[in-house]
Chains A and B, each alone.
Chain A
């Protein structure tokens, strides 16, 4: 089982603040890294899938970077809005043996105060 860790566990910011959080994963045999946004009482929705070292992806005010050599990904939210409040999940997959399955981190709960 891949060890995928997210930090911080939770985060409170004010509307308009920019914020970022981290996903750490083993760098050996890296295969893919996913970010999902999960609102309360809904199901996770995909933000990004990244596979290459140095990948940067952007969707509106949200962007992500990937460093496979050191085993981390950052998710950035610029100018946070209350509707950004959600749990942000990352999931990693490596290619050790036949184990290409994704392992999810426990998430970062973001609360944006108006």
Chain B
């Protein structure tokens, strides 16, 4: 099916573990984004990618690593998870960085114990 998917939808992990959140889109959108949603902060951009092998930091990149070897995939890795990274993570994709609609995935709820 066409669209943008995220996996897993729910994840519980422990402090210090590495976690990877997956994002896949079928539109061949150039841009992909990772946001985190926290109470009182709204949506904050973690990283974004303009194309395969081109990534850049957003507002809150510390503690996260991204890669984009294929246009359709944009995984987000927490190298050593901390409790402050407990959040809901949304992936989005778009044709351009700001003048076209961003299409959001269903979100991944991550809990770090």
Residues of A within 8 A of B (CB): 1, 31-32, 34, 42-46, 49, 51, 89, 91, 93, 100-107
Contacts and interface: CB of A to CB of B under 8 A. Distances in A.
B106 A43 contact: yes
A93 B98 contact: yes
Interface stretch (B41-49, B67-75, B79-87): B41-49
Given A31-B99, A32-B98, A49-B101, A43 B42 contact: no
Contacts of B41: 106
Contacts of A43: 90, 104-107
Nearest to B6: A43
| B interface secondary structure, majority | loop
A73 to B, nearest CB: 15
Interface in B56-103: 58-59, 90, 97-103
B99 A101 contact: no
B48 A101 contact: yes
In the A-B complex, the 5 residue pairs with the smallest Cβ-Cβ separation, listed nearest first, are A93-B98, A43-B104, A46-B101, A106-B42, A104-B43
| A interface secondary structure, majority | strand
Contacts of A45: 104
A46 B42 contact: no
A44 B99 contact: no
A101 B50 CA distance: 11
Contact of A51 (B48, B99, B102): B99
Nearest to A46: B101
A45 B101 CA distance: 9
Nearest to A102: B98
